[in-house]
Amino acid sequence: MFEFDQYLGFLAFLTILTIGFWLMIFLLTFVIPYWLFGNLMEMYKEKRKARLAEDNE
């Protein structure tokens, strides 16, 4: 039979595991694509700006 302390430890473990899982899902689905898209857009703007400056010379 479980003691109350073991039960609390098990609940704490499940809570930490669940928080970690959802944080990983959030990072993989929202943060990383947002960062990647923003980075690609900045690279495109810099290349376009350099190309326009070269054409105007």
| d(C-alpha 49, C-alpha 43), whole Å | 10
pLDDT-based confidence at residue 2 (cuts at 50, 70, 90): low
Instruction: Give the CA dihedral 35, 36, 39, 41, nearest 10 degrees.
Output: -110
- The helix/strand count (H/E) of the chain reads as 2, 0
Q: Return the HEC string of 25-48.
A: HHHHHHHHHHHHHHHHHHHHHHHH
Sign of dihedral through CA atoms 24, 26, 29, 34?
negative
pLDDT digits (tens, 9 = 90+) for 11-38: 999 999 999 999 999 999 999 999 999 9
